[in-house]
A = this chain, B = another copy of it.
């Protein structure tokens, strides 16, 4: 029986709403617009859902509410993911990278993550690699099961 793990599992499945102040947020490296890229990954499937942007306030709101909250560059406003569509992202874990200039948000995604209705934003277009127009190579060997 792994008690800490059990505790984590229960805790993270709830919405949280604990006050988070700016001084509780580590120094992050924002770009010249004050933004940092945030990768949303689905906890259940491991799929990368989307890439969005946060400023420090969006990050603070995300940490405080447990709801993934981004900065919309097109609308120039905060955007609680799923607020209108219902396709919310319940935050399981937020991590920063080694250089503190990228964020990984592991979420429980409700419904499709992409506004197009696709499960992820990376499902909309065909892959760039391998090239869709490339002629397939010979099979060299059967793949063992």
Interface residues of A (CB under 8 A from B): 3, 5-7, 9-12, 14, 16, 18, 20, 24-26, 37, 39, 41, 46-48, 50-51, 59, 62-63, 66, 91, 93-104, 114-116, 118, 121-122, 124-125, 127-131, 133-134, 136-137, 139-143
Instruction: Please tell me if the beta carbons of B39 and A127 are within 8 angstroms of each other in the complex.
Output: no
| Secondary structure class of chain A's binding surface, majority of residues | loop
Bound-complex Cα distance A127 to B99 (A) = 14
Complex Cα distance, B140 from A97, in Å, reads 32
Q: What are the residues of chain B within 8 A of A116 when measuring CB–CB? A: 98
List 6 interface pairs A-B (beta carbons < 8 Å), by A numbering: A6-B139, A39-B48, A51-B101, A66-B129, A93-B129, A95-B122
